[in-house]
Amino acid sequence: MADADGAIRLLLFGPPGCGKGTQAELLSEELGVPAISTGDMLRASVKADSPLGRRVESIMNAGELVDDATMADVVRERLGNDDVGDGFILDGYPRTIPQAETLGEILAAADAELDAVVYLDVPEDELVRRALERGRDDDTGEVIRERLRVYRSKTAPILGFYRDRGLLVEIDGHQEVRSVTATILDSIGETV
Ligand code: AP5
């Protein structure tokens, strides 16, 4: 799967802990396009103690969403980099319907569009198990539950947004890591 321009633009979608970051890195190696994680970008800003990092740290630690306007700036700037000329694997954005609309505008302005939105379906008890095992700063029981609540209310509606546009590819994310990668590549018509 690739556009007429030969680029491949994938979005990885699903609840916290479903494996978006893990699969984005593996797909990036397989497809030769950069993995872009808004969560990683924000965590790097926090670590660097930048103005953005100082603004978002407490929001992230509470499991809430950073506001749409801030995220639009972050993503617009990142997708303006030269390294996305052949495409990208985007993980963590969009997380609200307005963010999905903004992404569409950013891509349209560059005469580009998404090829597929890969939804990783994983049962909730497995999501909690994975996050507790990982132990990131925002992986405490209470914050994980809040991130899942925010996902259900604000992010899950995006599934319908992309299903309506014929872009949604649903994948069983509750398999061994490499099997998930192979299933994704198979589903989007790429060979391993
Ligand atoms: P973000 O970093 O995007 O967090 P998230 O969506 O909660 O996703 P996770 O990183 O928890 O999970 P993942 O699906 O990437 O799974 P992973 O591969 O790590 O965002 C963090 C925060 O930033 C948000 O809460 C918000 O505050 C803010 N933010 C970011 N983007 C934003 C936006 N657009 N708008 C507003 N705010 C935003 O895997 C999880 C674990 O499971 C790992 O330990 C992994 O090794 C393991 N694992 C993965 N796959 C498998 C498998 N198949 N089998 C067994 N274990 C597996």
In a domain, 78, yes or no: no
User: What value does the mean pLDDT of the chain take?
Assistant: 95
pLDDT of the residue at 121:
98
Pocket flag, ligand 1, residue 134 (CB < 6 Å): yes
User: pLDDT tens digits, residue range 79-126?
Assistant: 999 999 999 999 999 999 999 999 999 999 999 999 999 999 999 999
Q: Cα of 182 to ligand 1 centre, how many Å?
A: 20
Pocket flag, ligand 1, residue 132 (CB < 6 Å): no
Residue 192 predicted with pLDDT over 90: no
pLDDT of the residue at 111:
93
Contacts of 57 (CB under 8 A, 6+ apart): 46
pLDDT of the residue at 6:
80
Q: Nearest C-alpha to atom 50 of ligand 1 is from which residue?
A: 19
In a domain, 1, yes or no: no
Active site amino acids: 20, 95, 134, 136, 147
Residues facing residue 37 across a β-bridge: 91
Tell me the pLDDT band of 3, cut-offs 50, 70 and 90: low
In a domain, 68, yes or no: no
Residue 144's Cβ-count burial label (10 Å; 0-12, 13-18, 19+) is buried
Residue 77 predicted with pLDDT over 50: yes
In a domain, 175, yes or no: yes
Closest ligand 1 atom, CA of 147? 25
Q: Nearest C-alpha to atom 21 of ligand 1 is from which residue?
A: 39
pLDDT of the residue at 5:
72
Q: How many domains does the chain have?
A: 1
Q: Cα of 65 to ligand 1 centre, how many Å?
A: 13
Element (H, E) at 37: strand 35-37
Domain with 13 in it: 8-37+87-186
In a domain, 104, yes or no: yes
In a domain, 22, yes or no: yes
Give the three-state DSSP class for 6: coil
Q: Residue 126's domain is classified under what CATH number?
A: 3.40.50.300
Q: Cα of 5 to ligand 1 centre, how many Å?
A: 30
User: pLDDT tens digits, residue range 132-179?
Assistant: 999 999 999 999 999 999 999 999 999 999 999 999 999 999 999 999
In a domain, 60, yes or no: no
User: pLDDT tens digits, residue range 26-56?
Assistant: 999 999 999 999 999 999 999 999 999 999 9
Bond from prior residue into 94 cis (ω within 30 degrees of 0): yes
Q: Is the pTM of this model over 0.85?
A: yes
Q: Cα of 127 to ligand 1 centre, how many Å?
A: 10
In a domain, 99, yes or no: yes
